[in-house]
Amino acid sequence: MMRTNKLKGAIVAIITLGLINVSDTTMAQVSPPVQQTPQQPAKTNFTDAEINQFVDANVRLMTIQQDGEKTVISILEEEKISIEKFNEMAIAHQQQKLMEVGATAAEMAAFNKAAERIVVLQPEMQKKAETAILKDGMKIELYEQILLAYQQDLKLQEKVNKLIAARKQ
Among the listed residues 132, 24, 5, the one whose alpha carbon sits nearest the alpha carbon of residue 73: 5
Q: Where are the alpha helices (DSSP H) in the chain?
A: 2-16, 48-78, 83-94, 105-134, 140-152, 154-168
Positions in the chain short of pLDDT 50: 1-37, 39
What are the φ and ψ backbone dihedral angles of 125, each rounded to 5 degrees?
-65, -40
**pLDDT at site 16:** 42
**pLDDT at site 134:** 94
**pLDDT at site 34:** 42
**pLDDT at site 43:** 74
Separation between Cα atoms, residue 109 and residue 16, nearest integer Å = 18
Q: How far is CA 9 from CA 18, 73, 80, 147, 149, in A?
A: 14, 9, 15, 24, 28
**pLDDT at site 40:** 59
Cα atoms found within 13 Å of the Cα of residue 53, Cβ hemisphere only: 20
Separation between Cα atoms, residue 65 and residue 13, nearest integer Å = 12
Among the listed residues 86, 97, 78, 23, the one whose alpha carbon sits nearest the alpha carbon of residue 54: 23
**pLDDT at site 55:** 93
**pTM for the whole thing?**
0.68
Among the listed residues 47, 32, 22, the one whose alpha carbon sits nearest the alpha carbon of residue 133: 32
**pLDDT at site 36:** 44
